[in-house]
C-alpha cells in the first residue's frame, strides 16, 4: 500500500526562488527512505509538504489516499516530523509536559494523554527523565524527546530532517537506534541527510535531490557510487569496494 503519493508538486518562495520542482513519488507503507542532497537541494522544503507545513503551488500530496490540503490536522497526526533543531520543537517546562503537548491539543481526556506520554517516553527510554527540565538534556536526548512528542500523536510516518547534525558519536548512535527501532515497529521512515555514512546501511531506498528535483531514485547499492556528482560524499566503504556496515554493529 502507498502511504504517500506526491503528484507533480512545485513550490516557489515569496521572493520567487524555486524550492521544489515537479516532484512525483510514491512511498510504500513501512518503507525506509533516505533522501540525500547537498545543502540547498530542496530536501527540507520537500519534507515540509508531507504534512502541510507548506502547501504546493501546483500538484498534490495525498496521505493514505486523502489530499493533505483537505485535512491538515489529519496529515500532521499521520506524518510526524523531527526537525534538525530539536530545541525548536521543545515547548514544555518538563519532559513530560513537552510530550503531552500534542495529545492535549487533540483534546484527549487526561487518562489517554497520560497513557500516550508514558508509552512514548518508554519507547525512547526517557521515562526516568519525565520531571527533568528539557534544556538539561544532551543533544541526543533532545532528539529522542522530539521523537517522543511525535510518537504521542500516533503517527504512521516519521520524517527526520538531518537527525545527526551537531551530535557526537554516542548521541548519533542513540538516534540511530531509535530510528531503527521505529522502523522495526512498522513505521514508515524518511530521513533527509547530506551525510550517507551513518544511515545508508539501514535504508530500503535512496533518493537524490538537486535543484529542487529528484534526480535519482532506487536501491542504495545501485546509486551509491554515483552520488558525488550531486555533492554528496560517497561512504568510505563503498569507495573501497566494500560492503557498507551499519554504525550499530
Instruction: Quote the CA–CA distance of 43 and 41 in Å, as a whole number.
Output: 6
CA-only gyration radius of the chain, Å:
18
Q: Which three cell numbers stand for residue 6?
A: 506526491
The H-or-E segment that residue 148 falls in is helix 139-151
Task: Give how far the C-alpha of residue 144 lies from the chain's centroid of Cα atoms, to the nearest Å.
Answer: 12
For the segment 108-139, what is each residue's pLDDT rounded down to a tens digit?
899 999 999 999 999 888 999 999 999 999 98
Question: Where residue 169 falls among pLDDT bands split at 50, 70, 90?
Answer: confident
pTM for the whole structure: 0.90
Other Cβ atoms less than 10 A from the Cβ of 242: the count is: 10
CA of 54: how far to CAs of 20, 75, 110, 217, in Å?
A: 11, 12, 31, 23
Question: Where residue 249 falls among pLDDT bands split at 50, 70, 90?
Answer: low
DSSP, collapsed to helix, strand or coil, labels residue 230 as helix
For the segment 55-100, what is each residue's pLDDT rounded down to a tens digit?
999 999 999 999 999 999 999 999 999 888 877 888 889 999 999 9
Other Cβ atoms less than 10 A from the Cβ of 118: the count is: 15
Q: Judge whether 190 and 157 are in contact, CB under 8 Å.
A: yes
Average pLDDT, the chain: 92
Amino acid at each position: 500500500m502507498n502511504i504517500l503519493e506526491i503528484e507533480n508538486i512545485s513550490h516557489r518562495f515569496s521572493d520567487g526562488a524555486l524550492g521544489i520542482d515537479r516532484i512525483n513519488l510514491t512511498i510504500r507503507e513501512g518503507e525506509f527512505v533516505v533522501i540525500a542532497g547537498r545543502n540547498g537541494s530542496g530536501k527540507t522544503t520537500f519534507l515540509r509538504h508531507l504534512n502541510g507545513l507548506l502547501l504546493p503551488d501546483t500538484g498534490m500530496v495525498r496521505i493514505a489516499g486523502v489530499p493533505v490540503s483537505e485535512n491538515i490536522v489529519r496529515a500532521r497526526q499521520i506524518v510526524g516530523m523531527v526537525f534538525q533543531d530539536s530545541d525548536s520543537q521543545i515547548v514544555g517546562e518538563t519532559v513530560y509536559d513537552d510530550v503531552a503537548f500534542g495529545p492535549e491539543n487533540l483534546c484527549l481526556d487526561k487518562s489517554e494523554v497520560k497513557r500516550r506520554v508514558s508509552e512514548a517516553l518508554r519507547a525512547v527510554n526517557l521515562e526516568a527523565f519525565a520531571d527533568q527540565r528539557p534544556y538539561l538534556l544532551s543533544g541526543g536526548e533532545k532528539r529522542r524527546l522530539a521523537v517522543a512528542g511525535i510518537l504521542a500523536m500516533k503517527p504512521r510516518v516519521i520524517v527526520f530532517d538531518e537527525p545527526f547534525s551537531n551530535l557526537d558519536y554516542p548521541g548519533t548512535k542513540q538516534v540511530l537506534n531509535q530510528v531503527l527501532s521505529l522502523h522495526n515497529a512498522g513505521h514508515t521512515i524518511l530521513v533527509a541527510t547530506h551525510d550517507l555514512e551513518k544511515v545508508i546501511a539501514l535504508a530500503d531506498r535512496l533518493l537524490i535531490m538537486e535543484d529542487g528535483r529528484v534526480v535519482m531514485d532506487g536501491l542504495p547499492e545501485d546509486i551509491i557510487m554515483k552520488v558525488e556528482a550531486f555533492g554528496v560524499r560517497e561512504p568510505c566503504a563503498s569507495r573501497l569496494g566494500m560492503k557498507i556496515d551499519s554504525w550499530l554493529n
